[in-house]
Amino acid sequence: MLAYLIVNNQLRTTRISAIKIESPTVKTFRFKDEACAKAEPGQFLMLWIPGVDEIPLSILDADAKGNVSVAVKKVGGATEALHSKKRGEVIGVRGPFGNCFSIKAGRILMVGGGTGIAPLLFLARRITSEASSLTFVIGAKRKSELLFLEELERFCNRGSVVATTEDGSYGLKCLATAPLETLLTKKKFDMIYTCGPELMIRNVFDQAEKHKVPMEASLERLMRCAIGLCGSCIIGKFRVCRDGPVFNSRQLREVKSELGISKLGFDGNRIPIE
């Protein structure tokens, strides 16, 4: 375990091999990295933008040829610098870090918001042969920000994709959590997987508890070391980088007083989650 962590934690440089525009604010970057190409759905990597910063990103895809992809939303300094990069430019990678989603058979419900859809799409690719049905609820502010809709529809051939937008420009005009009450009342699900804004995850957790359906959620916190040392990513007794980022229902119950409520900010002080 220690040897594995030491190898994965070494910074490797690589070059961006492909860039795809997914939406006005999201681009997918592909590059070669042997270690991260062995990642499982739910794991993340630390991507170094030389001279700028290093940021945590969920792995969107990894293949046997050593290719790795991440979907990145432009929100601040580091992500803007990455968005301005061209094919062939150098980046650095550490990882993969953290645990992964468990692969369950049966009737699966996935709920994803924004770039939180990325690790769920990776999981959907792996789970498709195990699942007897796959229902995907995805949400975004507007149609142009709904990610990976076509790919998801391909994986949901034994289920369905429910798309929601806050402005009503595509699918249902509501938050991604709104259709859940009806879905969970009408149909029995064996597992819920979710990733996205933490307020959304909290709502999914409350509904899963009410309907007694087990769930796993991938959480985001500020991350620096990614190996459980610095403490910037704590939630309750857990360090999200080391004990997560994927947490099950039992663990989420233990951090209920913080989930979707507060987290540590850049200065180490606790701040509300909005």
Ligand X SMILES: Cc1cc2nc3c(=O)[nH]c(=O)nc-3n(C[C@H](O)[C@H](O)[C@H](O)COP(=O)(O)OP(=O)(O)OC[C@H]3O[C@@H](n4cnc5c(N)ncnc54)[C@H](O)[C@@H]3O)c2cc1C
Q: Is 73 in the site for ligand X (CB under 6 A)?
A: yes
Residue from the set 220, 239, 246, 247 that interacts with ligand X by CB under 6 A: 220
* Tokens encoding 105: 């058979």
Q: What is the pattern of x (binds ligand X, CB under 6 A) and - over residues 169-208?
A: ----------------------------------------
Nearest-approach distance from CB 105 to ligand X, in angstroms: 26
Helices (H), the chain: 2-9, 77-83, 117-127, 149-155, 180-186, 198-210, 240-243, 249-254
Residue from the set 27, 107, 221, 239 that interacts with ligand X by CB under 6 A: 221
What Rg do the C-alpha atoms of the chain give, in angstroms?
18
Q: Is 104 in the site for ligand FES (CB under 6 A)?
A: no
Q: Which does 226 bind (CB under 5 to 8 A by kind): ligand FES, ligand X, none?
A: ligand FES
Nearest-approach distance from CB 101 to ligand X, in angstroms: 13
Q: What span, in angstroms and rounded, lies between the C-alpha atoms of 131 and 32?
A: 30
Q: What is the pattern of x (binds ligand FES, CB under 6 A) and - over residues 187-226?
A: ------------------------------------xxxx
Nearest CA among 119, 130, 96 for reference residue 41:
119
Contact (CB, 8 A) for 88 and 28: no
Site for ligand X in 111-170 (CB under 6 A): 115, 118
Burial of 51 (0-12, 13-18, 19+ CB in 10 A): exposed
Sheet holding 12-21, edge to edge: 53-58, 44-49, 90-97, 12-21, 26-32, 67-73, 61-62
Contact (CB, 8 A) for 190 and 133: no
Q: What span, in angstroms and rounded, lies between the C-alpha atoms of 98 and 66?
A: 19
Q: Which does 230 bind (CB under 5 to 8 A by kind): ligand X, ligand FES, none?
A: ligand FES
Residue from the set 41, 239, 245, 255 that interacts with ligand FES by CB under 6 A: 239
Q: Is 246 in the site for ligand FES (CB under 6 A)?
A: no
Nearer to ligand X among residue 76 and residue 106 (C-beta): 76
Q: Which does 245 bind (CB under 5 to 8 A by kind): ligand X, ligand FES, none?
A: ligand X
Nearest CA among 247, 204, 249, 23 for reference residue 110:
204
Q: Which residue is nearest to ligand X (CB)?
A: 76
Identify the sign of the CA torsion 10, 246, 191, 61.
negative
Q: Is 265 in the site for ligand FES (CB under 6 A)?
A: no
Q: Which does 261 bind (CB under 5 to 8 A by kind): ligand X, ligand FES, none?
A: none
Residue from the set 16, 38, 53, 142 that interacts with ligand X by CB under 6 A: 53
Q: What are the residues binding ligand FES (CB under 6 A)? A: 223-226, 228-233, 239, 241
